[in-house]
Chain A
Amino acid sequence: MKAQMTLTVNGEERDVFAAVHKTLLEVLREDLGLTGTKHGCELGECGACTVLVDGEPVLSCLALPVECQGREITTVEGLAQGERLHPLQQAFAELGAAQCGYCTPGMLLSARALLEATPMPTRDEVRQALAGNLCRCTGYTKILDAVELAALRLHRAGQIERSQARAGDSPGARAMVTGRA
């Protein structure tokens, strides 16, 4: 049986007509063409399919799209703002945190949820937050480093923004600390 639904993905409203038993993972990849979201098991065991639903990490291989109607879905395609990468993406690229890159979308979204909740996490908090995302390539080292670097940059950007709000504008400062200068 198929059903009509409306999903909000990366800020865009998308109409989908799909079989009701299809997972969010399948609908994103097959019906919406958003193949950035990956799968390593389709059983909820590897974290490769992680997306954000209302900012919370969700395993899309276990989620049903109907349950996500009216909620904000964010996939890896929605992390960058136009041509400006999210600081996590920037740090992952710079530090070599993506080797084969297959776990990367899921990692990025888990990390983004962490940084939203805990802007300056300890290394152990990062480990904890990413424990459900398996990576077979990197030994996690550069991934942990990248999340820490992104946290630092976001924190500094936040500081500058706050001081700008107090003392007027200084164009370019934010770009500098977010590595986009």
Chain B
Amino acid sequence: MSTKRFSVIGKGLPKIDSWSKVTGATQYADDLFLPRMAYGKLLRSPHPHALITRLDTSRAKALPGVFAVITGHDLPRLKFGIMPVSQDEEALCVEKVRMVGDAVAAVAAVDEETAERATLLIDVEYELLPPLMSIEDSLAHPEARIHEYGDGPNVHKAVSLQFGDVEEAFRQADLVREDVFFFEGNTHLPMEEHAAVAHFGPDGKLTLWSSTQTPHYVHRLLGKILDLPQAHIRVIATPVGGGFGGKLDAFAHEIAACRLSQLAGRPVKIALTREEVFYTHRGRHPVLMWMKTGFKKDGAITGMHFRSWLDGGAYGSYGVASTFYTGALQTVTYKIPVYKFEGVRVFTNKPPCGPKRGHGTPQPRFAVECHLDKAAEQLGLDPVEMRRRHLTEPFTKTANHLTVTTTGLAECIDRVVEASGWHEKRGKLPRGKGIGIACSAYMTGAGLAIYWNDMPHSGVVVRADRSGGVSVLCGATDIGQGSDSILAYVVAEVLGIEPKDIRVHPADTDLTPVDLGSYSSRVTLMAGNAAIQAAQRLRARIFEAVAKKLEVTPGDLEARDRRVFVKDDAERGVAFAEAVVLAESMHGVLAVPGSYAPPKRAGKYKGGGVGPSPCYSFSACVVEVDVDEETGQVRPTEVWVAHDVGRALNPLLVEGQVEGSIYMGLGEVLMEEQVFRKGVHKIPSMLEYKSPTALETPEIHTILVETDDPEGPFGAKEAGQGPLLPVIPAVANAVYDAVGVRVDETPISPDKVVRGLELKRQGKPARVGPEKLPLFTFPAPRAIDSAFGLPADAIAERPFAS
């Protein structure tokens, strides 16, 4: 796609914060040291499920160097949670702990050591309750309830949706297949451990600096939890040293730091240890899945029925959304005219799961893409051809009422097939080597906010200074994906100046308009569109003033190369800084807002709010693997991903997102697992929680496909999460191609491959994966007409567009 008409967009520029990052100048939360600052520590429960019978802090309070000690009794007695429907957390538990790692008290002291020592002087007695460590345990013991709310004893959420008659669809099929899959839980493992600094000033106002992906939601929750007017709270998100979804809730350490600062009368920092980060979690749900699909001889899908059982852990977190997401996006990639989804999330006494890169969708994508490969084999079809023939059409709706706008999936498939030499390799590689493919789709921003409201999802203020410098104020949080840079690029493009002329001031609830946060791949699209709107409004004012001076009409003008000039007579113009002076003289202060809210396209049914997005990205992935038949070790040797990003605003950054996604997908499919024994994390260290190193990450080939989506800023879609999705099943499919073993659960660890090979030698079906499904009766489905194939509304109306 031509980028000629752009001067900034489409260029592989360095990020605007690169220079501070390579010199060590970037200040993350734990790099803040304020005068008189105290250090905080949390005391955490060693038991997975217990009643607190005694909690005495007097010995800790008496320790020299201790400024304050708090328990849940020092906070308002109410529960909170990120989702309005799941208010089930306490910063410091008062009556009951529900997992190892639940905080029960907190200390602020002169240094970390003293704080730590003080926590050991807090006397806590527990009365142990039976720990429920699995979905089966929790369903079998309704008498030992973890929470008093939900859709049943230990059932957090149960959903059942039906779009058309699946049984009838199965009757029309030539082949009906059922499969069962399990996706193990894993965690984000950001390199930066969470940290927060709170300062409750003498003016009675609170400032919190935190490594959070969502300062706005933390701001809202703090008002509630601390019982302070929200207007007197300021939350600043410091540059985040990796998030991946792990810094999206309000956490005990943030809340405790605030209250401790209030009591101690000085700033308080709490920085989590790596072990605490493992228990804080909110990562990938372990999900058991059953699916049944009807196929025609040519591979066309007549209908699909999908069930998921999520092991939620001890709290709600984003779990209701996660549950819906395990069923929402199956329909976006291929034509599925009829669809039924049933899902349930069960509480267990383990750290709560939540959103991790791809939120709730990598698990079903693993299932769907392995299932399709098996069906292709049964039907005698090439797995590429079968997928390629049945892709969703642009500007149509899916069975579950999602709107697909542009799609570049066909091109993505063609490009990875060609680049990888698929046709020369599939089924033809020597024993032990294999190649596999998979595809996926992902949202570019959630269509709805966490809490219902009519306000913008993203706001930007662009301010022009008389110097010609421009400030961009936006609540968005840069977690490494480069959102600050994207804001600078789009504003520079519209105003015809250089990114260097722009300073971005992000994520400060006092100074910046709200952006909901860095989740659901929403920032480039939503904050980007808001920034474009603000910059265009500013440009209109500038053009008006310059037009008057040059005696032309604003429509005759163009902004480029730091100048504003007459399009057909480029010599006639003024420098950008001078144009700003003219505009400020005419209009007064130049500080202009832009707002964005997604088009209102949610399906009109309960649960229809999870899944809609302004547009979807698409990815196709081919992986080549080497499998050692002795040890069962799987080594990916090369990976190709083609990703429909709409438009690459900066191809360098998009490639970086794709590469990082591939890496993370490889970790999940081959080695990462968040597992517990008797409530205790088996491997809460970076050495034992295996993640890929530079040695284990293969050569990666990234291909960017552009579709110029009408919803995206300059046509852009997301890139940060979607490319992870196909990697996991592509590896599983490649392993099958290499050694004929189906490992239907992650991680595909050496022992499972060896077990599969052993089964094969014994002449048994060479499949390793879950055998049983939990006993659970899903609620009667809500029956909704399938919207499959209906045309999308020609023009999506969205609020604040003009």
A residues neighboring B (CB under 8 Å): 29-30, 33-43, 45-46, 48, 75-77, 79-80, 85, 89-90, 92-96, 98-105, 108, 126-128, 130-144
- Is B75 an interface position by the 8 A CB rule? no
**Are A46 and B191 in contact, CB atoms less than 8 angstroms apart?**
yes
CB of B22 within 8 A of CB of A140, answer no
Q: Which of B14, B25, B191, B686 contacts A43 (CB 8 A)?
A: B686
B638 near A: Cβ within 8 Å? no
> Taking chain B's interface residues, is the majority helix, strand, or loop, or is none over half, making it mixed?
loop
The yes or no answer to B184 lying at the interface (CB within 8 A) is: no
Query: What are the residues of chain A within 8 A of B481 when measuring CB–CB?
Result: 99
* Contacting residue for A77 out of B12, B23, B26, CB 8 A: B23
Of the candidates B24, B662, B685, which one forms a contact with A105 in the assembled complex, judged by CB atoms under 8 Å apart? B24
The reply to whether the CB of B775 lies closer than 8 angstroms to some CB of chain A is no
B190 at the interface (CB under 8 A from A): yes
A41 close to B14 (CB less than 8 A): no
- Give every chain B residue within 8 A of A37 (Cβ-Cβ): 24
Kindly list chain B residues whose C-beta atoms are within 8 Å of the C-beta of A92. 18, 21-22
- Give the nearest-CB partner of B243 in chain A: A100
For this complex, 20 residue pairs linking A to B, each with C-beta atoms less than 8 Å apart, are A29-B31, A34-B24, A41-B686, A43-B687, A45-B686, A46-B686, A89-B22, A89-B23, A94-B18, A95-B652, A98-B21, A100-B191, A101-B241, A104-B24, A128-B694, A131-B693, A134-B693, A136-B664, A138-B656, A141-B697
Q: A46-B686, A103-B191, A139-B659 are in contact. Are A134 and B239 (CB under 8 A)?
A: no
Closest A residue to B665 using CB positions? A139
Known contacts A42-B273, A131-B695, A100 near B480 by CB under 8 Å: yes
Contact status A45-B659, CB under 8 Å: no
A100–B239 touching, CB < 8 Å: yes
A34, closest chain B residue (CB): B24
B23 touching A85, Cβ below 8 Å? yes
Residues of B within 8 A of A40 (CB): 191-193, 274, 686
Q: In whole angstroms, what is the CA distance A85 to B14 when docked?
A: 15
User: With the chains together, A33 CA to B28 CA distance in Å?
Assistant: 14
Most chain A C-beta atoms within 10 Å of own C-beta, residue among B20, B23, B242, B694: B694
Are A101 and B686 touching (Cβ within 8 A)?
no
In the complex, which residues of chain A have a beta carbon less than 8 angstroms from the beta carbon of B653? 96
B660 touches A139 (CB 8 A): yes
Distance (whole angstroms) from the CB of A133 to the closest CB of chain B: 7
CB distance from B213 to the nearest CB of A (A): 11
Given B12, B26, B655, B697, which contacts A101 in the complex, CB threshold below 8 Å? B26
Nearest CB to that of B701 among chain A residues?
A141
What does the 1/0 interface line of B630-670 toward A look like (CB < 8 Å)?
00000000000000000000001101100111111000000
Min Cβ gap B487→A in Å is 16
Chain B contacts of A133 at CB under 8 A? 694
Using A43-B687, A101-B239 as known contacts, say yes or no to A38 and B192 having CB atoms under 8 A apart.
yes
Most B CB atoms within 10 A — which of A29, A136, A138, A142?
A: A136
Contacts of B274 in A (CB 8 A): 40-43
Per-position binary interface string of chain B over residues 1-23, scored 1 when its CB falls under 8 Å from any chain A CB and 0 otherwise: 00000000000101101111111
CA distance A128 to B696 in the complex (A): 10
CA distance A177 to B482 in the complex (A): 27
* Contact A36-B23, Cβ < 8 Å, known A43-B685, A99-B480, A144-B694: yes
> A100 contacts which of B241, B655, B686 (Cβ < 8 Å)?
B241
Residues of chain A with a CB closer than 8 A to B273's CB:
42
Cα of A34 to Cα of B446 in the assembled complex, Å: 40
- Docked complex Cα distance between A166 and B569 (Å): 53
Nearest-neighbor residue (CB-CB) of B24 within chain A: A36
Given A131-B694, A134-B691: A102 in contact with B25 (beta carbons within 8 A):
no
Per-residue contact bits, chain B 470-494, to A (CB 8 Å; 1 contact, 0 not)? 0000000001111000000000000
Do residues A98 and B659 form an inter-chain contact, with CB atoms below 8 A?
Answer: no
Q: B454 to nearest A CB, angstroms?
A: 34
The size bracket of the interface on B is: 35 or more
The reply to whether B240 and A141 form a contact with Cβ atoms under 8 Å apart is: no
Q: Which residue of A is nearest B22, CB measured?
A: A89
Q: Is A76's CB under 8 angstroms from B24's CB? A: yes
> Which chain A residue lies CB-closest to B26?
A101
- Can you list the 3 inter-chain pairs with the closest CB atoms, starting with the nearest? A36-B24, A100-B480, A139-B663
**A80 and B694 contacting across the interface, CB-CB below 8 Å:** no
Q: How many whole Å from B728's CB to the nearest CB in chain A?
A: 15
Compute how far the CA of A93 lies from the CA of B30 in the bound complex, rounded to whole angstroms: 23
> Which residues of the partner chain B approach A134 to less than 8 Å between Cβ atoms?
191, 686, 691, 693
Kindly state whether residue B577 has any CB partner on chain A within 8 Å.
Answer: no
Residues of A within 8 A of B659 (CB): 138-142
Does the CB pair A143–B656 fall under 8 Å?
A: no
Task: Report chain B residues within 8 Å CB of A138.
Answer: 656, 659-660, 663
| Contacting pair A93 B660 (CB below 8 A) | no
Contact pick for B24, options A75, A100, A127, A132, CB 8 Å: A75
0/1 interface trace, chain B 269-290, chain A, CB 8 Å (1 if under): 0000110000000000000000
Cβ proximity bits B22-49 to A, threshold 8 Å, 1 near / 0 not: 1111111011010000000000000000
Say how far A28's CB is from chain B's closest CB, in angstroms. Answer: 11
What is the bound-complex CA distance between A98 and B695, given in angstroms?
18
**Are A35 and B31 also in contact (CB < 8 A) when A41-B686, A98-B22 are?**
yes
Nearest chain A CB to B307 CB, angstrom units: 32
Considering only CB atoms, which chain A residue lies closest to B479 in the complex?
A: A100
How far, in angstroms, from A105 to B26 measured CA to CA in the complex?
A: 11
Q: Which chain B positions have C-beta within 8 A of A79?
A: 23
The verdict on B700 contacting chain A, using a C-beta distance below 8 Å, is yes
Q: How far is the CB of B29 from chain A (nearest CB, A)?
A: 11
Given contacts A41-B685, A99-B660, A137-B242, contact A108 B652 (CB under 8 A): no
| Bound complex: CA A17 to CA B600 (Å) | 62
Is B189 close to A, CB under 8 A?
yes
In the complex, how many angstroms separate the beta carbon of A48 from the nearest chain B beta carbon? 6
A35-B27, A136-B191 known, 17 other contacts, Cβ within 8 Å: A35-B33, A40-B193, A92-B18, A96-B652, A96-B653, A101-B21, A101-B241, A102-B242, A128-B694, A135-B191, A136-B189, A136-B664, A139-B663, A139-B700, A140-B663, A142-B652, A144-B694
Question: In the complex the two chains form, is A80's CB within 8 Å of B23's CB?
Answer: yes
Asked if B244 lies at the interface with its beta carbon under 8 angstroms from chain A, I say: yes
A47 CA / B42 CA spacing, docked (Å): 26
Contact (Cβ within 8 A) A45 B652: no
In the assembly, what is the distance between CA of A133 and CA of B693, in Å? 8
Q: Which residues of B contact A128 (CB under 8 A)?
A: 694-695
- Contact between B18 and A98, CB atoms less than 8 A apart: yes
Query: Closest CB of chain B to A104's CB: distance in Å?
Result: 5
